[in-house]
Amino acid sequence: MARFRIAVHITPRKGLLDPQGNAVKDALHTLGFKAVRNVHVGRYIVLETEAYDAIAAEETVTDMCRKLLANPVTEDFEIESAVPA
Amino acid sequence: MKFGIVTFPGSNCDYDAFHAITEMLGEDAVYLWHKDHDLQGSDVIILPGGFSYGDYLRPGAIARFSPIMQEVAAHAKAGGPVLGVCNGFQIACEAGLLPGALMRNANLQFVSAKVRVRIENSDTMFTNLYERGEVLRIPVAHGDGRYVASAEVLDELEAEGRVIFRYADANGTLSADANPNGSERNIAGIISDGGNVLGLMPHPERACSPLLGSNDGVRLFESILSRVAA
């Protein structure tokens, strides 16, 4: 067993209203960043876990996302590659 | 009849529910601690409002793993009545007792207001003392009350008469203005396919006395009594 660090990005499901993202987009426009077209606000979770290898660690974290870290109705998630912690 | 009111760390409407049941309805109620595994013989379970576990991760996401929720899920599976109010609705959705999810209010504001909801189906164990189309005045207080589900799920809920409450104006007309949080199709409350789990964002337990400005919530609890006792 080795220890791995994995980062998870969780964002509102595409197509669903994202009022936080829209509010940030409007603020950026007000600041002069007129070119901004879309903003999505989500969560960034970093966790360390014991696993046999990086593949196993990533599989376990995918399972965690499905069961708890992301809501399957409203959110999408992406997992970064596991790195030795 | 005995009502079991679950207290999670961060619940804040458990006493309101207890007061409504014991003082306004004159029935028995017990608090059920979230770490317990015993429903203490409760006939009806109430998942009250509040901010269980500080809404960490997502509202209701952690509470669904509380030990007592295993018993609540078994109670629901056996056809026992479960009423989820506000945070309780969020928990019921996270636990898979109800479809869909509650997201951040569309206007990003915490809304604490007395709203109107229209009765969409009065043939349930929670609404049989109301008339279909009747408009109730009931308070809401939430930051994450925007009901969301896939179009297929929404169509199914409507086709099966499982949308129970919708936000409406005084005349019972649905409009964006009457919708305090941007919920899909103005949905304020839904019921499970078995008809025994009701989730709603408005607080019927806070509308049980004219002193509080409305007693429109009383009949929800009386409906349970009449149906479950019968």
B61-103 pLDDT per residue, tens: 999 999 999 999 999 999 999 999 999 999 999 999 999 999 9
Q: Is the pLDDT at A14 greater than 90, yes or no?
A: no
Q: How far apart are CA B103 and CA B207, in angstroms?
A: 24
Class of domain A2-84: alpha beta
Residues of chain A with a CB closer than 8 angstroms to some CB in chain B = 12, 16-17, 19-20, 23, 43, 68-69, 71, 73-74
Which residues have C-beta within 8 Å of that of residue B16, sequence separation ≥ 6?
B48, B49, B203, B205, B206
Kindly identify which residue of chain B lies nearest to residue A45, measuring between CA atoms.
B57
Q: What CATH number labels B2-229?
A: 3.40.50.880
A vs B, Cβ pairs < 8 A, gives 35
Q: How confident is the model at residue A65 (pLDDT cuts 50, 70, 90)?
A: very high
- The per-residue pLDDT for range B134-187, each reduced to its tens digit, is 999 999 999 999 999 999 999 999 999 999 999 999 999 999 999 999 999 999
Cα dist from B152 to B81, B100, B207, whole Å: 26, 11, 33
Cα–Cα–Cα angle for B46, B9, B62, rounded to 5 degrees:
85
Of B107, B108, B149, the CB nearest to A73: B149
- B86 noted as active-site residue: yes
Q: Which of B34, B75, B142, B203 is catalytic?
A: B203
Is the backbone of residue B54 left (phi > 0), alpha (psi -120 to 50) or beta? left
CB atoms within 10 A of CB B87: 28
Place of tokens 């007592």: B68
pLDDT at B230: 52
**Considering Cα of B5, then B74, then B183, then A26, what sign does the dihedral take?**
positive
Let me know: does B59 contact B102? Beta carbons within 8 Å: yes
Q: Which regions of B120-226 does DSSP assign to beta strands (E)? A: 135-142, 146-148, 163-167, 187-191, 197-200
Residue A76 DSSP label:
E
Tell me how close the Cα of B204 comes to any Cα of chain A, in angstroms.
27
**Where along chain B do its domains lie?**
2-229
Q: Identify residue B180 by its one-letter amino acid code.
A: P
Query: Chain B closest CA to A19's CA: distance in Å?
Result: 6
Quick check: B108 and A20 CB within 8 A? yes
- What is the distance between the alpha carbons of residues B11 and B68, in angstroms, rounded to a whole number? 14
The pLDDT assigned to B229 comes to 64
Please report the pLDDT score of residue B228 as a whole number.
73
Q: Chain A partners of B99 at a C-beta cutoff of 8 Å?
A: 73
Q: What are phi and psi of A8, to 5 degrees?
A: -125, 130
| B146 contacts in chain A (CB < 8 Å) | 17
Q: Is A73 in Cβ contact with B150 (below 8 Å)?
A: yes
Where b means 16+ CB within 10 Å and e means fewer, A46-85 reads eeebebeeeebbbebbeebbeeebbbebbbbbebeebeee
